[in-house]
Structure formats: C-alpha cells, structure tokens
C-alpha cells in the first residue's frame, strides 16, 4: 500500500492538470461530448482498459484482471452547471454561462488518477473494476438511471462514489451508513385569477395575493404537519407575475422544491400541497394548475459496504475520517443503489484560511490538495475490495 500511496502522491500535478483542463472546458448535462472524448483519449493512452460508450456522453472503462473475483464499480460524474463563472481563476471556464461549480471536474480527475494507478497494478488484483464516468448528474432524469438501464451495473457486486464537499474541511473524509442525501422533488403552480386595475382590486381576483397566501400556507405543512425530528424541506423558490405597478395580473407562477428521505412522505407532500392550493384558490374564486415532479431517489448507503469503506479509509487516513452529516441535497447515485449495494462518501475541500463559497455559486472553487486524498481513497478501496491475486 505504501507504494500505491507514493504513486498517487507522484501524480499530484497530473491530477491538478486534468482538473484544470476540465474546469476550463465545462459542458452541460447531456451535452458532455468533448468531456467524454477527452476522458476516452486519456484512458486509451493508459492502454489497459476495455472502453465503451453506453450513451453519447458517458464513458465506461473495465479493468479486467482475468482472475476470478468480485466486481467493483467506481463512479464519477462529469457534467457542469448553467452558471456564469466569477472566480477570476487563470483556468476559469472558457464556455460562457457554463461552469464546474459542484466539483465534478475534480471527481473526474480523481477517477482518472485511480484508473492510471490501478491499471499499473492489474496483475496484483482479482476480479474486475468498472470505472463509470457518468454524464448528466445535474439534470433529471439523470445519467445514472440511463446507465443502469443500459446494463452498466450488470454483474457488479458493489458500487462506490464520492463527492468533493465544501461543507467539510479540506482532506477530511465523511462516511455515513443509511440516509445521506435526500430525494429532490420539484413542483410548479399556476394560479389564474382575473386581472384589472390596481386601483380597483375589488373588481379583480388577485393572483398575487392568492399566491402569497399559498406560499405562507405551504410552509405550515413543514412546521405543523411533519414531525420536527423528521427531515423535511419545502421551499418556494420562484414567484413570477405582473408587468406594471398599476396592473393586477391575470395569473402568477410559483415553483420550488420538496426534500425528504421517506418514500411515503413524497406521496403525502404532493397530496397535501394540492389540498392547500385547491382550498385557497377556490375560496378566492381562482383556478389553479399543480404539477409535482419526482426527482432522484434518496441516497441511502448500504450498512455493510459502508462499514468496509470506513474501516479501509480509517486504515489509510486515520483521524481524517469522520461521520458525514446528512444533507437535503440530492444525487442520482441513488439509481445505482437500486441494483447493487452502494455507498457514497464526502471528501472535504474547504480551505481553512479562505472564504468558502457554496456549491453552485459563481465563485465556487476547491482546495486541490483534496484531489490526492480522494484519489488515494479510491485506490485503497479498490485494492482492499478486490484483494491480492
């Protein structure tokens, strides 16, 4: 293992170079053509993989040892976000309005590094490692489900993923069995009233006033209808209506998100929300449209596999390994967990001496020292899981 650690450490500049190249050339979900081509070229140069393209913008690399053993899948997401970058970095995005603001450039670099190190030690391993460079994590229905449907996880015994995490100090690793990331559902509401002159509100059915009532009442679902010890978030994030200060509009639009870990709570939320919306709209003489769209399933880590991950990483990193805090953010890694035992962990990227901008912020950046830690973690997990030949 000490040899592998030295090899990963020796790749520090390469990991940074890969990450910066990807950061400069971000691509949106389902559009990662150049990113996938870059990954395929790098893997081809390594010369040890069976490479396939199950979708137009994803890449799968199989490291087959030729000896019987287990099959482990390691996954990185490769897509970027529709954000105008404002970091001022020398390697800032060259694609206007597109930015790696969630660390996927780092995820890809770390998995490429693991590919390179593990390929050099194929003769010391058993079974197979399946490296998944996944497209479209940021946009439902998500790339993970497409890859599951394409059979990418057929025959896989376990799947492991990681996320660079601004919520943790750089180079620390967070592990947690059970619930880790929530189901990110969305909703859309349209309230149709009767517009008119703002000086004569009594002659209108004011959709803005009705919408405001709905926003307040929806918050009471979380504060008065759900056990305070149960994680549940309902956020209205968009309220659009009106064109002038003296005109009451005919309609308004509201959108937002619901986050929960429980399947039955997702079904309850859709029903309870519509009951609130219907009651308020009908009481005020308005009509409504309501759509509730289910997002990814919650990420729930397999206890046995997570115990293996924790033990392995504690042997590798000691006190740097800690308990990960659950988050109401979502992740389509959960699709893999429906077909194989899976666990997802966090690697910290927050610099202790600088301002930390959150994920999806125009100034989001990472501490690149974490790339070595994340790559080492993947290599350690793969070698321990597959064992020695």
The whole-angstrom separation of Cα 81 and Cα 362 is 10
Catalytic residue among 85, 137, 138, 206: 137
137 assigned to active site: yes
Q: Which residue matches tokens 């287990």? A: 70
Residue 25: how many CA atoms within 13 Å on its side-chain side? 15
Q: How far apart are the first and last CA of the chain?
A: 14
157 assigned to active site: no
Structure tokens at 97: 């309005």
Catalytic residue among 32, 79, 85, 365: 79
DSSP 153: T
- Preceding omega of 141 cis (within 30 degrees of 0): yes
Closest CA to 22 of 113, 81, 105: 105
Contact by Cβ (8 Å): 27, 80: yes
Using a 10 angstrom Cβ sphere, with 0-12 exposed, 13-18 middle and 19 or more buried, the burial of residue 352 is exposed
Using a 10 angstrom Cβ sphere, with 0-12 exposed, 13-18 middle and 19 or more buried, the burial of residue 208 is middle
Closest CA to 73 of 9, 153, 147: 153
Q: Which residues are catalytic?
A: 79, 137
């Amino acid at each position: 293992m000490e040899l592998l650690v030295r090899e990963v450490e020796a790749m520090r500049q390469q990991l940074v170079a890969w990450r910066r190249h990807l950061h400069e050339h971000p691509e949106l979900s389902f559009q990662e053509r150049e990113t996938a081509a870059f990954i395929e070229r790098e893997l081809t140069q390594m010369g040890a993989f069976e490479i396939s393209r199950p979708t137009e913008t994803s890449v799968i690399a199989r490291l087959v040892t030729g000896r019987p053993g287990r099959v482990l899948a390691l996954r990185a997401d490769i897509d970027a976000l529709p954000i105008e970058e404002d970091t001022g970095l020398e390697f800032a995005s060259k694609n206007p309005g597109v930015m790696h603001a969630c660390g996927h450039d780092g995820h890809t670099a770390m998995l490429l590094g693991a590919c390179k190190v593990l390929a050099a030690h194929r003769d010391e391993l058993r079974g197979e490692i399946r490296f998944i460079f996944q497209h479209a994590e940021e946009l439902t229905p998500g790339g993970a489900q497409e890859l599951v449907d394409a059979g990418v996880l057929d025959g896989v015994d376990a799947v492991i993923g990681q996320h660079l995490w601004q919520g943790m100090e750089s180079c620390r690793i967070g592990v947690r069995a059970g619930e880790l990331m929530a189901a990110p559902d969305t909703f859309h509401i349209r309230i149709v009233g009767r517009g008119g002159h703002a000086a004569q509100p009594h002659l209108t059915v004011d959709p803005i006033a009705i919408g405001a009532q709905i926003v307040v009442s929806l918050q009471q679902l979380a504060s008065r209808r759900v056990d305070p010890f149960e994680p549940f978030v309902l956020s209205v994030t968009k309220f659009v209506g009106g064109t002038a200060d003296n005109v009451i509009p005919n309609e308004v639009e509201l959108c937002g998100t619901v986050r929960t870990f429980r399947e039955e709570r997702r079904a309850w939320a859709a029903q309870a929300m519509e009951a609130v919306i219907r009651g308020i709209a009908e009481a005020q003489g308005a009509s409504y449209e309501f759509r509730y769209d289910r997002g990814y399933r919650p990420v729930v880590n397999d206890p046995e596999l997570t115990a293996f991950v924790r033990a392995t990483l504690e042997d590798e990193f000691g006190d740097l390994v800690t308990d990960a805090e659950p988050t109401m953010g979502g992740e389509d890694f959960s699709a893999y967990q429906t077909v194989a035992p899976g666990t997802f962990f966090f690697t910290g990227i927050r610099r202790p001496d600088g301002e930390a901008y959150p994920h999806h912020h125009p100034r989001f950046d990472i501490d690149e020292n974490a790339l070595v830690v994340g790559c080492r973690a993947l290599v350690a997990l793969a070698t321990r899981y597959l064992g020695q030949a």
